[in-house]
């Protein structure tokens, strides 16, 4: 076991090879830093976007690694504790963005692992219960269930609500994507997700809005998906309903029923969360000048796009007076 003084395990000190970049816009600070001849100031201001930043944050990106953020999990550890703590904070966006500043190192790979870990766990829990119910039900109905039917049912238990497999005997299989039957609520909920990150990139590159590094925008684009943990958990919980165990006959129906019963409330809560998320991302996380105004304009665009997307479902027309 090497001691703490062992140079082979100590974190490498920042080297001159690091190009100092503005934490917000990514502008190269080498020119400004080159003018320091006698002393190195503790703080500096980006000439491009006006951000005041601590020079040490720029010279050593790992200095501000957070002890709870999943993106900063050291090495190859799975980091289950961090995954839960990050989720807890992310569900309260003002708390999350108070901790995750512009100096925070972005790890896209860890963000991907985090999403797979969270949604995978919730989905696997629901699917395991569904599998149990399906097998239990089929053996109750008949002792001679064709193995194709059994495997089809188990596969559906894991693929719901994204894919639906049907077996009509022999080699007659069909695969369907029941996404279309999710309705206008899903269209309205999904359409604005890529809009805000795309607009921030576009407005930043056209200088209409202060530029924010693509990595920061990518992090926010990822973290906005956190809210889907609520519908995903609700859907997993429908697996517990014993009356749904014959659900192979109408896979995806529990989700549609769930949306019909709770759709309005869940959608409103998720929509408010999403708006709060972007407010704190833009104002507190990115510290954009005129942040509240930028946020308000983006939200107007998002609501318009959601309404346009909803009209793609003809049933939405029936909702209007």
Q: By C-beta, is 28 or 166 nearer to Zn ion?
A: 28
For residue 103, what are the CA distances in angstroms to 25, 32, 64, 85, 301?
A: 11, 18, 7, 20, 29
Q: By C-beta, is 20 or 197 nearer to Zn ion?
A: 20
Q: Shortest Cβ distance from residue 29 to Zn ion (Å)?
A: 8
Q: Which of 14, 27, 123, 131 binds Zn ion (CB under 5 A)?
A: 27
Which residue carries 């816009």 as its tokens? 25
Torsion sign over Cα 66, 68, 71, 75: positive
CB-neighbour burial class of residue 12 (10 A; exposed 0-12, middle 13-18, buried 19+): exposed
Strand residues in the chain grouped as ranges (E): 43-45, 52-54, 164-167, 173-176
Dist. CA 237–CA 245, nearest whole Å: 13
Q: Which of 49, 69, 157, 223 binds Zn ion (CB under 5 A)?
A: 49
Q: By C-beta, is 53 or 247 nearer to Zn ion?
A: 53
Give yes or no for residue 22 binding Zn ion (CB under 5 A).
Answer: yes
Dist. CA 203–CA 310, nearest whole Å: 26
Q: By C-beta, is 48 or 65 nearer to Zn ion?
A: 48
Segment near Zn ion (CB under 5 A); pick from 25-33, 146-154, 231-239, 256-264: 25-33
Q: Which of 14, 33, 45, 48 binds Zn ion (CB under 5 A)?
A: 48
Q: By C-beta, is 6 or 52 nearer to Zn ion?
A: 52
Could you tell me if 52 and 45 are in contact, meaning their C-beta atoms sit under 8 angstroms apart?
A: yes
Say whether the peptide bond before residue 244 is cis (omega within 30 degrees of 0).
no
Q: Shortest Cβ distance from residue 197 to Zn ion (Å)?
A: 19
Q: Which of 20, 29, 44, 46 binds Zn ion (CB under 5 A)?
A: 46
Give yes or no for residue 25 binding Zn ion (CB under 5 A).
Answer: yes
Question: What is the binding site for Zn ion (CB under 5 A)?
Answer: 22, 24-25, 27, 46, 48-49, 51
């Amino acid at each position: 076991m090497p001691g703490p003084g062992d140079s082979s395990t100590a974190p490498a000190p920042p080297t001159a090879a690091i190009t100092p970049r503005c934490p917000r816009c990514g502008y190269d600070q080498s020119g400004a830093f080159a003018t320091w001849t006698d002393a190195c100031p503790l703080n500096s201001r980006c000439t491009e976007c006006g951000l005041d930043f601590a020079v040490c944050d720029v010279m050593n990106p790992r200095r501000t690694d957070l002890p709870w953020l999943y993106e900063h999990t050291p090495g190859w550890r799975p980091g289950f504790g961090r995954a839960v703590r990050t989720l807890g904070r992310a569900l309260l966006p003002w708390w999350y963005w108070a901790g995750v500043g512009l100096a925070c190192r972005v790890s896209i790979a860890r963000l991907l692992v985090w999403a797979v870990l969270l949604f995978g766990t919730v989905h696997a829990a629901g699917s395991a219960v569904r599998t149990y119910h399906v097998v239990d039900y089929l053996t109750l109905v008949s002792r001679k269930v064709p193995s194709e039917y059994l495997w089809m049912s188990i596969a559906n238990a894991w693929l719901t609500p994204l894919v639906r497999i049907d077996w009509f005997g022999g080699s007659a299989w069909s695969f369907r994507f029941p996404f279309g039957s999710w309705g206008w609520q899903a269209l309205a909920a999904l359409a604005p997700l890529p809009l805000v990150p795309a607009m921030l990139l576009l407005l930043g590159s056209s200088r209409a809005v202060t530029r924010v590094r693509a990595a920061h925008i990518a992090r926010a684009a990822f973290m906005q998906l956190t809210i889907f943990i609520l519908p995903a958990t609700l859907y997993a919980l429908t697996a517990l309903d014993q009356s749904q165990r014959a659900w192979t006959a109408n896979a995806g129906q529990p989700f549609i029923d769930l949306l019909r019963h709770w759709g309005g409330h869940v959608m409103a809560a998720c929509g408010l969360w999403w708006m709060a998320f972007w407010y704190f991302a833009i104002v507190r996380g990115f510290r954009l000048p005129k942040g509240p105004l930028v946020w308000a304009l983006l939200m107007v665009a998002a609501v318009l796009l959601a309404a346009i997307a909803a009209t793609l479902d003809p049933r939405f027309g029936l909702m209007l007076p």
